[in-house]
Structure 1
Amino acid sequence: MDIILVPGFWLDASSWDEVTPPLTAAGHRVHPLTLPGLEAKEAPRAGIGLRQHIDAVVAAIDATAGPVILVGHSAGGAMIYGAIDQRPDVVLRGIYVDSGPLGEGGVINDELPSDGDEVPLPHWDVFEDEDLVDLTPDLREAFIRRAIPQPKGVATDQQRLHNERRFAVPATVICCEFSSDQLRHWIAAGDPNVAELTHINDVEYVDLPTGHWPQFTRPADLGAAILAAVDRQQ
């Protein structure tokens, strides 16, 4: 199986390094992505928006023989959902790591502090306490060293969707900073931030309690959770 791993903000393909071993050991072909503008700290980021990142995921899908499974962490959830919208017949499952599908017209986060064409990694006090669970001082320092400014347009552009066949692609939501019970409560309460999940025909919820970056705080467990979701699809 081809598994495409899409990182969240400020991260490149290497952010998945400690997650992939159980996937490759099981014989899967793993494709962690570095998205446009995230190639290096000095890479140009002007003119790069959400569409360019979704297009990069679609290009990765098209480069495989298919079918594929998409994994998106954080903002990567919006990107894999946009790619599913374009390739619903090729994607077998979308796996959302502490994230979810972003519906039509939604934006990932237009409140992050920006600097020109980019959004640098903010100070930790911008994040909620739940985001930072298990992110030790050493892990925070390592994150700061590896962080690459995010193209601003990716955070602020609206999601554009066109194909309702995306609803037929099963989803797995790996719940980290919030539990599956909390997520179900928000869905039942009609929270617009999670409304898109109500349209997907088959959604499963998996609890992996930690903060927002399980690829750093619980990488082996995250790899096992992804592998379990992949195995259920086969």
Structure 2
Amino acid sequence: MNGLLRNVLRFGTMISAAALMSSALPGCGGGDGDGGTSGGGSQGEGKNTYVLVHGAFVGGWAWDKVVPLLEAGGNEVIALDLPAHGEDETPLASASLQAYTDAVVAAIDGASRPVVLVGHSMGGIVVTQAAEQRPDKVKTLVYLTAFLMKDGQSLNEEWADDQGAEIKAYAVPSDDGTSLSFKEGWAENAFCQDCSPEDIERLESHLREEPAKPFGEPIHVTEEGWGSVPRVYIEALKDLAISPAEQKSQYTALPCERVISIDAGHAPFLTKPQEVADALTSL
């Protein structure tokens, strides 16, 4: 087993949850009223593999509250650290959209079945590229308040027009432009204004410099690849990092099979983990 795959799979835990329903899903006209908490996963049969991809400024640890809620009956969950994030020791200079994608593809290839691929925030561009490379191995693609973009777009381009993204006021580029960090107050005022003091402390204690290069790299997708994978959007109605208006504009431009609404800020995996887990198991 190569080092990358070992690093990915060491976060995996065999878990059980209800199977995702394979029936047709409603169109993207608006959010589900119950935030995906109707408990569809509690009655499902079968097993799934969930690959959970974090966003910028966090690591695989961000899913720690969600993973145990999915633990119920034999499903596989992989919550990996992207390169230069979490405990991964990749140098900042080596972080790129392709490096991120390679890590996720390794997780997909190591899974025992087609996966439910979930991306949060910046992780949206990563799961998009991974699905483009492995469309036959992705059962459902889930964007959790994440960047859902068209071919040729970069995260920087998409984010630039989001007037409601208050967290941009806290972002500080390094002198050489290779990384980003945050000013004091970023977590409680913009990233997770609805977090507990304990969660704020955890966010701040895990903060690392964020590689800037992947933000400027355009995605490249096709209808035959990424476009052939069923996709779902989970919007966060109080998000100050990707505004609700921006989220809606993205899933309107690229319609999904379903939109689920959670009344939370940018980190519902911390503040509303049960609703996130219920949403994933209700699809």
TM-score, with length taken from structure 2: 0.68
Which whole-Å CA distance do the structure 2 matches of 1:154 and 1:127 have between them? 25
**Does the CA contact (< 8 Å) of 2:53 and 2:127 recur in 1?**
yes
Map 1:18-57; keep pairs closer than 5 Å: 18-40=65-87, 44-57=91-104
**Does the CA contact (< 8 Å) of 1:133 and 1:210 recur in 2?**
no
Match of 2:211 among 121, 134, 151: 151
Which residue is equivalent to 2:271?
Answer: 217
Q: Look up the SS of the partner of 2:84 in the other structure.
A: coil
Which whole-Å CA distance do the structure 2 matches of 1:196 and 1:62 have between them? 30
Q: Look up the SS of the partner of 1:10 in the other structure.
A: coil
Which whole-Å CA distance do the structure 1 matches of 2:73 and 2:229 have between them? 23
Map 1:72-87; keep pairs closer than 5 Å: 72-87=119-134
**Is structure 2 residue 180 aligned with structure 1 residue 119?**
yes
Report the alpha carbon displacement of residue 160 of structure 1 after superposing the two structures with TM: 2.1
Which whole-Å CA distance do the structure 1 matches of 2:149 and 2:182 have between them? 22
Which whole-Å CA distance do the structure 2 matches of 1:186 and 1:214 have between them? 15
Report the alpha carbon displacement of residue 96 of structure 1 after superposing the two structures with TM: 0.9
Specify the code of the residue in structure 2 equivalent to 1:118.
S
Residue by residue over 1:83-133, the C-alpha shift from the partner in whole angstroms, topping out at 9 and shown as x without a partner, is 11111111010111111422222222377532243222444459985x544
**Does the CA contact (< 8 Å) of 1:50 and 1:157 recur in 2?**
yes
Report the alpha carbon displacement of residue 158 of structure 1 after superposing the two structures with TM: 1.6
Which residue is equivalent to 1:232?
Answer: none
> How many corresponding residue pairs?
218
**Does the CA contact (< 8 Å) of 1:41 and 1:148 recur in 2?**
no
Q: Look up the SS of the partner of 1:223 in the other structure.
A: helix
Which whole-Å CA distance do the structure 2 matches of 1:28 and 1:16 have between them? 16
Report the alpha carbon displacement of residue 139 of structure 1 after superposing the two structures with TM: 2.4
**Does the CA contact (< 8 Å) of 2:81 and 2:87 recur in 1?**
no
Report the alpha carbon displacement of residue 45 of structure 1 after superposing the two structures with TM: 0.8
Specify the code of the residue in structure 1 equivalent to 2:172.
P
Which whole-Å CA distance do the structure 2 matches of 1:148 and 1:211 have between them? 21
**Is structure 2 residue 154 aligned with structure 1 residue 93?**
no
Residue by residue over 1:23-65, the C-alpha shift from the partner in whole angstroms, topping out at 9 and shown as x without a partner, is 2214310000101111449752103111111111111111123
Q: Look up the SS of the partner of 2:275 in the other structure.
A: helix
Question: Unaligned regions of 5+ residues in structure 2, if any?
Answer: 1-47, 161-170
Which whole-Å CA distance do the structure 1 matches of 2:52 and 2:187 have between them? 26
TM-score, with length taken from structure 1: 0.81
